[in-house]
Structures are given as C-alpha cells and as structure tokens.
Amino acid sequence: MSAPVYFIADAHLGSSPDPRRDEPRLSRLIPFLHRVGDRSAEHLYILGDLFDFWFEYTHVMPWRHARILGEIRRLVDRGVPVSFLGGNHDWWAGPVFKEFAGMTVHPDPITVVHQGKRLFLAHGDGLASGEDSGYLILKSVIRNRWVVRLLHLVHPDLAYALGHRLSKFSRTVLTAREFRIAPRLSEFVDRTLVAGHDAFLMGHLHARHEERRPAGGSLLVLGDWMTVFSALRLEDGEFVWEDWSSGAGTDTPPPGAPEIGGHGESGS
C-alpha cells in the first residue's frame, strides 16, 4: 500500500477582521494536518488561498496566522513534505512560508508524478484569460513589481487593511457566484490533459467537483475550507474525497453535481 498524497485549497483564513471567525476553519484544518502526519503521507499540496491576504515584510508577519503555520511546520518536521502553490490572495508567499513553515513555494502551476499518475496542479486563477477580465486587471496591479516595492514601504497595518479590502472585493465582486467551467478554461484543461497528464487539479472556484474529460483524464476542483471543508487524497493510484465538515474526516463519494462553497466570511 502506497503512502497517501493529499490536496487542499481555499481556506481564506483571515477573511474577517475578527480573528475568532477563523476558529471554525482552524478547528477542522488542524485535525486534518494531524491526520496527514499520522498517516505518514507522501506529500501535502496546498493549492493556494490558504490566507485571504498575505504579504511579507522583512521583520513582520501576521500574528493571527502563526498558529496554522506552526502546525504546518510540525507536519514538515514529522517528515511530510508540504508544497504551496500561490493563489490570487497569497501569491506573495516567501521566506516565512519557506523558512518558518518549511513549505516549498511555487508561484506558478506545476506538474508532479505520484503513484504512476502525472498530475497538473494549479490554483486556477487567470487560466481562462479573456473570460476573467476584471480579475486579470486586478492581478496585473497587485503583482506589479513597483506596487510590491511600494507596499514594503507602507506600515504593515495599513498594507493589510488595504489588502483585506482588495481581497473582499475579489471574493464578493470579481468571483462568479455560480459554478461553471468557462470555455477557455475547458480548452486549457483539455490541452493540458492531452499533453500527457492523467488529472488536472485546481482550486479557486470554491466548489467540489470531479468530471471525466472528453480528451481523457480527469478534472478535479478541490472545494474550499470556508463552507465545504473538503480534501482530496490519492492512495493506491485512486482519488478519494474526504469530508471534514464535522471536524473528523470521513471518506465521501465523488460529487454527483458540483458542491458549491462560499466566498464570504462565514466558515462556521
């Protein structure tokens, strides 16, 4: 029996100004991390938007996120590699993720091979260029190197206040409320699968979804940890969904229809 590989996305910790609003998510995420460690997993992949906003300064980090980053560090110290793919809300991950939490950080999509399967992993933002124009404009601004340099000169409290406003705007205005695989995203998925991948895994859409593609291979959208609380596990060459809504993970059948998550601040 092979060691399992785990995949999650879209916890959006910090989406509310009140740190107590993170607790329902942390009360599920932390047991999940313990389960990953107890099972001596081969790897954990976090496909972006662990935080609703993240920006790093040389000597400062948000205190409210130290708890989850410490749990990830403990998981790494137990021998489980953790890889993080930057999302549209926390693309600026850097030394804190790498040195404090021990994660490997990927700013862009990656291809990995586990248990004989070639997997394409992405957060998912910007893949359907031309159909997400509002977000793409925002993305071009917040990733501009001069904007990043300017933020480094701003007091962290002010930068995070601005960042949370932009994040809330992105979640509530620029993100579609109904789940759909846009035509250009669909084309991108199929091109990627035809190029030699067995599965395409992504977050960003806040829905738990699995489908077999006409081009061959599978598309798996990971859900979120705001309302769906889902994880995906690869074990013995098969994908298995886990439901963490109760705080204790249970295997669950593949979704027959997309299970829509949340973009707001609920998480309870």
The span from the CA of 232 to the CA of 240, in Å, is 6
> In this structure, is residue 27 part of a structural domain?
yes
> In this structure, is residue 265 part of a structural domain?
no
> In this structure, is residue 128 part of a structural domain?
yes
The span from the CA of 157 to the CA of 159, in Å, is 6
CATH number of domain containing 116: 3.60.21.10
The reported pLDDT for the residue numbered 96 is 86
The reported pLDDT for the residue numbered 160 is 58
> In this structure, is residue 267 part of a structural domain?
no
> In this structure, is residue 22 part of a structural domain?
yes
The reported pLDDT for the residue numbered 259 is 86
> In this structure, is residue 121 part of a structural domain?
yes
State pLDDT tens for residues 142-195: 555 656 566 655 656 566 566 566 666 555 554 555 677 888 899 999 999 999
Domain count across the chain: 1
The reported pLDDT for the residue numbered 167 is 61
182-207 CB burial, b ≥16 within 10 A, e <16: eeebbebbbebbeeebbbbbbbbbbb
> In this structure, is residue 249 part of a structural domain?
yes
* Domain boundaries, position 128: 5-260
The reported pLDDT for the residue numbered 268 is 40
The reported pLDDT for the residue numbered 146 is 55
The reported pLDDT for the residue numbered 265 is 54
The span from the CA of 52 to the CA of 265, in Å, is 10
| Residues of the chain below pLDDT 50 | 133-134, 137, 174, 266-268
> In this structure, is residue 266 part of a structural domain?
no
